């Protein structure tokens, strides 16, 4: 081999080594770049994960706050509902009490009106009884045995029985002490044989209706 050919071979070998070295450097740079990219991806992934965790925490806190607000709203609505129910119940109780008082008052008024009407009827019957009694006093014992007198006596007794059933009672007078709540003194007489304020004669009989005086006795009082 000539000297010239040897020099050419040496140049070619140098070029081949140089190319191999450049290829190796390129591969090293590529591997380094890949490593840097992986590290960057890892950092980015960790950053994303941290951000996601932070967002999840914020979302969780927001949900808790919203749930607490909803619970407070429900409790407030429940309290308002209970207050309304209590107010309605109180109104109902008052209305029922007022109605009960109205019913009692109405019943009392009706009873009073009935008593007033009944007492008016009784008062109109009393003069009839007076006439019966005056008529019996004016006839003899023999005349009382006649059929007519017996018939009148039956009517008189029936009327007295009806008044007794209505709780109409005569007021005691002769021999009892004068009482202005039951008696009306139209005459006074001096009589040493009688005590003070003793009734010695009755001119018109008095009556009570259910323990209430509907007519005072007209009497003569001694001393």
Domains of the chain: 121-222 (2.30.22.10)
Out of 6-20, 59-73, 91-105, 147-161, which region has the weakest mean confidence (pLDDT)? 6-20
Cβ atoms of residues 206 and 216 within 8 Å: yes
Least confident of 28-37, 84-93, 141-150, 207-216: 28-37
In this prediction, residue 18 carries a pLDDT of 54
Cβ(187)–Cβ(221) below 8 Å: yes
Task: Please work out, in degrees rounded to the nearest 5, the angle formed at the alpha carbon of residue 146 by the alpha carbons of 145 and 148.
Answer: 125
The strands making up 168-170's β-sheet, listed across from edge to edge, are 168-170, 207-209, 212-215
The encoded tokens of residue 12 equal: 């070619």
Question: Which is higher by pLDDT, 122 or 109?
Answer: 122
12 or 179, higher pLDDT: 179
Is the pLDDT at 40 greater than 60? The verdict is no
Task: Return d(Cα 115, Cα 166) in angstroms, integer.
Answer: 11
From 193, 211, 215, 191, select the one nearest 203 (Cα to Cα): 215
More confident residue, 116 or 23: 116
Residue 207 has a pLDDT of 96
Mean pLDDT (the chain) is 77
**Cβ partners under 8 Å of residue 213, min gap 6:** 171, 181, 182, 206, 207
- Residue that is written with structure tokens 């006596």 in the block: 153
Residue found by looking up tokens 């990219």 in the block: 37
How far apart CA 183 and CA 202 sit, in angstroms, is 10
Residue 112 tokens read as 């009073």
Kindly report the backbone phi and psi dihedral angles of residue 221, in degrees, each rounded to the nearest multiple of 5, phi listed first: -115, 135
- Euclidean distance between CA atoms 61 and 77, whole angstroms: 24
> Residue 16: what are its φ and ψ, rounded to 5°?
-65, -45
């Amino acid at each position: 081999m000539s000297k010239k050919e040897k020099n050419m071979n040496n140049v070619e070998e140098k070029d081949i080594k140089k190319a191999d070295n450049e290829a190796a450097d390129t591969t090293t740079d590529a591997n380094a770049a890949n490593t840097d990219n992986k590290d960057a991806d890892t950092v980015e992934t960790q950053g994303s994960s941290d951000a996601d965790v932070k967002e999840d925490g914020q979302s969780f806190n927001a949900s808790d706050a919203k749930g607490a607000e909803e619970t407070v709203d429900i409790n407030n609505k429940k309290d308002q509902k209970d207050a309304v129910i209590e107010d309605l119940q109180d109104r109902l109780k008052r209305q029922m009490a007022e109605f009960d008082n109205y019913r009692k008052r109405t019943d009392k008024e009706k009873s009073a009106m009935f008593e007033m009407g009944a007492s008016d009827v009784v008062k109109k019957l009393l003069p009839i009884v007076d006439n019966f009694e005056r008529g019996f006093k004016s006839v003899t014992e023999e005349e009382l045995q006649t059929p007519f007198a017996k018939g009148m006596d039956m009517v008189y007794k029936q009327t007295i029985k009806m008044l007794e059933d209505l709780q109409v009672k005569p007021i005691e007078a002769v021999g009892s002490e004068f009482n202005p709540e039951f008696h009306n003194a139209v005459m006074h007489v001096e009589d040493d044989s009688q005590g003070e304020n003793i009734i010695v004669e009755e001119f018109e009989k008095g009556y009570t209706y259910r323990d209430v005086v509907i007519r005072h006795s007209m009497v003569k009082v001694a001393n």
